Structure 1
Amino acid sequence: MFFPIFLLSGAGFTVLTTEFLIVGLLPGLARDLGISVSQAGLLVTLFAFTVAAAGPLLTMVMSKTRRKTIFVGTLVLLGFANLLAAFAPNVGVMAVARFVPALALPVYWSLASATAVDIVGPEKAGKAISVITFGIICATVFGIPIGTLIADAYGWRSAFGVVAAVSFLKALMLQFFFPQLAARTSDASLRSQLIILRDPVMLGHVLLSVLVFTGMFTAYTYLADVLERLAGFSGQLVGWTLMAFGVVGLVGNHLGARIVDRSPLQASLLFCGMIAVAMLALSASIHTHAALALVLGIWGMAQAALFMVSHVRVMKAAPQAAAFAASLNISGANLGIGLGAILGGSVIDHLGIANLGYAGASVMGLSLVLTAILLGSRQPRPTLCTN
């Protein structure tokens, strides 16, 4: 029963690697395209904000299309986009190569999540989505470092070329092994999906995702810089530390899957609290390796768990339009990623990098307040009707 979900997770690994691979390639890419690193960094912002802006509408429009067609088509589209990036002669073409997959990513993740729940049933929603989000975590743990190693050895264009080849391979795997699920005649209409935007509780859940991801990425975006400048780590040690940060996230994903179906909001309280405590302790632990390892371990587990918990939480807030709700969560998350990077950069420029953890913890504190408010509001039925 879970085999199709594992296929979606494996394909999702490639989808998320396409989004985040560029982070490790920025210096070389900027040199070759004749732009500054900060200008190249705008390609990351372009991707995140495109996902945030276009995701819900595209997911709503595509919700009645056969799922297999969407999944295979997404991987093919990503393959061509990565090929275009590999041969991009200038930043304008590269921007197009980043814009196109950003349109496909939220549709894939929203409908993959809804399909996973549809396959196993709503009572196992957390477990199913944890398998899907496993692909996200593996992309950050293995996809980005491997891509960076390929770029170091053969150039950044080769890294995009490899991801393109893997995208086409995953498309073939889905074509031959993923079941042909018919378009659901019970899918919600466009109007009924849009109605959930009138629910203040639903909007509160989306706002909570924005706050959660803003808080996480206020500090996480610059974690490598923190480790180099404050902890004195070498570049190689930073790389291994970031990989370890991702590995402990596998534990967090498993832990979140075990408790999220009982109460997504209580799970949010737990993991937001863990991150807030870890960020508050970051500066104090920076010069003691054992303490820093503990802080980063807590942070890494909680952050990975919140990827999945936030997804389940928003989907269960609108069971009549779960895929559309999932796309709203993805948009909120990407908006938070972009805002967190901007906020973190501002803190570094005006208050100093040592205050980055405190800024992130402050935003996580706002997340805890909103979570408590939502816990006191009316709760939706925990039944998911995927669309």
Structure 2
Amino acid sequence: MLFPILLLSAAGFTVLTTEFIIVGLLPAIARDLAITIAQAGLLVTLFAFTVAALGPFLTAYFSRFERKRLFVTILIMFGFANVLAALAPNIAVMGIARLIPALGLPVFWALASETAVDIVGPEYAGRAISKIGFGIVCATVFGIPVGTLISDAFGWRSAFAILAVVAFAKALLLFIYLPATHKHKEPVSLLAQLKILRSPLMLGHVLLSVLVFSGMFTAYTYLADMLERLAGFNGTVVGWCLMGFGAVGLLGNSLGGRMVDRHPLIASLSFCVVMIVGMLAVVPSMHSTVGLSVALALWGVTQAALFLVSHVRLIKAAPQAPAFAASLNIAGANLGIGIGAIIGGRVIDHLGLGNLGFAAAAIILLSILLALWLMSVKPQPACA
């Protein structure tokens, strides 16, 4: 039953690449659509805020549907959305093209792990979920930078066109090879799951995800623009830089997985501290190959680690409702991504591109303070 799991992971790669590929394409999109880089960044905000606002509710509603047909439909929807993006004549149409997949992403990610466990059985749950999560890492290692390289060679529209073809192909593969899964006998109601939000500790964990991702994406949203304008790199070099940024994330994913099992909040705090160092070092080292490589490596390792750490941290914080906790992390993370894109755009407009690292580091510092507070709070017994 390994092949269906790998197909879900591959589909996840396409889903996450659709969300984040725009990071490497923002400069080209802004030039082609005759908008500012900050206005282009609002496309990231639109996607993220849609996921944050609707993700948990859409997931709760669509969890009753048969998974195979649901996932095939989502991949087809992603395919059409990417076609629309490739043809978008202006920012308004581009906004619609980003809104459509934002409705499907949280549903896919919240239910894909559960489906993988249904396929292989609970005794192999850990292995199945780890394979699904590998699609996230591959999206940052290969999806974003390859999209940037394609954009530089053939134009940013071609990157979305190719991604559309890939989405349609994976929809067909899922239709052929993904087995039908059984519906759960007694799905937990949304109201029952919402009870975990009565815990101040749980709300603190969600807020921590919002702050961490706000800090990361204040700068990461505009990393390609920083490398183009501050370092003077062309699109090809930027693509390879993003490839390296994602590649070191494999190490971060491994380190995060080990540390989060020992103590989730210490893991969050530790990676945030190192991330601040990396973010603050990027701009001063722009014209030093070794310095820039080290700074981006520190940032890339910690960013990938915090993707995993945040996800597991929320699940461990609410063992009585792990699936809903995971959806809350997805919502909180995307709220942070959207806020970060807005803050980064404002910093560029008013303080300049070179100050993005300072703004991002300040937000990450807030997340460190919150993590320290959460570590001092004793968890209360779960309500019956």
* CA–CA separation in structure 2 for the residues paired with 1:292 and 1:147: 22
Structure 1 range deviating more: 314-323 or 207-216:
314-323
* Residue aligned with 1:104, SS: helix
* Residue aligned with 2:22, SS: helix
Q: 2:299 corresponds to which letter in structure 1?
A: W
* CA–CA separation in structure 2 for the residues paired with 1:256 and 1:217: 19
* CA–CA separation in structure 2 for the residues paired with 1:120 and 1:289: 48
Task: Report % sequence identity.
Answer: 63
| 1:133–1:307 Cα contact (<8 Å) kept | no
CA deviations 1:18-76 (Å, max 9, x no partner) are 22333444555556656565544433322121111111111121223333332222112
1:121-136 counterparts in 2 under 5 A?
A: 121=122, 125=126, 129-136=129-136
1:1-387 counterparts in 2 under 5 A?
A: 3-26=3-26, 29=29, 38-116=38-116, 121=122, 125=126, 129-379=129-379
How many corresponding residue pairs? 381
Superposed displacement of residue 331, structure 1? 1.4
Superposed displacement of residue 233, structure 1? 4.0
* CA–CA separation in structure 1 for the residues paired with 2:286 and 2:34: 36
CA deviations 1:158-196 (Å, max 9, x no partner) are 332322221121112222322322111243112211212
* Residue aligned with 1:360, SS: helix
Superposed displacement of residue 364, structure 1? 1.3
| 2:272–2:364 Cα contact (<8 Å) kept | yes
* CA–CA separation in structure 1 for the residues paired with 2:320 and 2:276: 33
CA deviations 1:215-264 (Å, max 9, x no partner) are 11122223233334444444433332221111111111122223323332
Structure 1 range deviating more: 280-289 or 171-180:
280-289
Q: 1:315 to 1:2 in 2, by over 3 A?
A: farther
Superposed displacement of residue 284, structure 1? 4.5
Runs of 5+ consecutive residues of structure 2 not aligned to the other structure: none
Structure 1 range deviating more: 144-153 or 40-49:
144-153
CA deviations 1:184-214 (Å, max 9, x no partner) are 1243112211212222221111100000011
Structure 1 range deviating more: 160-169 or 84-93:
84-93
Q: 1:16 corresponds to which letter in structure 2?
A: L
Q: 1:180 corresponds to which letter in structure 2?
A: A
TM-score (norm. length: structure 2): 0.87
| 1:214–1:340 Cα contact (<8 Å) kept | yes
* CA–CA separation in structure 2 for the residues paired with 1:355 and 1:20: 22
Q: 1:348 to 1:77 in 2, by over 3 A?
A: closer
Q: 1:350 to 1:123 in 2, by over 3 A?
A: farther
TM-score (norm. length: structure 1): 0.87
Structure 1 range deviating more: 266-275 or 38-47:
38-47
CA RMSD across the alignment: 2.9
Superposed displacement of residue 123, structure 1? 9.7
| 1:60–1:193 Cα contact (<8 Å) kept | no
| 1:51–1:103 Cα contact (<8 Å) kept | yes
| 1:134–1:250 Cα contact (<8 Å) kept | no
CA deviations 1:128-186 (Å, max 9, x no partner) are 55433322232233223333444445444433232222112111222232232211124
CA deviations 1:316-339 (Å, max 9, x no partner) are 222333222222111111111121
* CA–CA separation in structure 2 for the residues paired with 1:260 and 1:3: 28
Structure 1 range deviating more: 36-45 or 5-14:
36-45
Runs of 5+ consecutive residues of structure 1 not aligned to the other structure: 382-387
| 1:130–1:254 Cα contact (<8 Å) kept | no
Q: 2:219 corresponds to which letter in structure 1?
A: A
Q: 1:321 to 1:179 in 2, by over 3 A?
A: farther
* Residue aligned with 1:171, SS: helix
Q: 1:23 to 1:380 in 2, by over 3 A?
A: same
* Residue aligned with 1:133, SS: helix
| 2:141–2:243 Cα contact (<8 Å) kept | yes
| 1:211–1:363 Cα contact (<8 Å) kept | yes
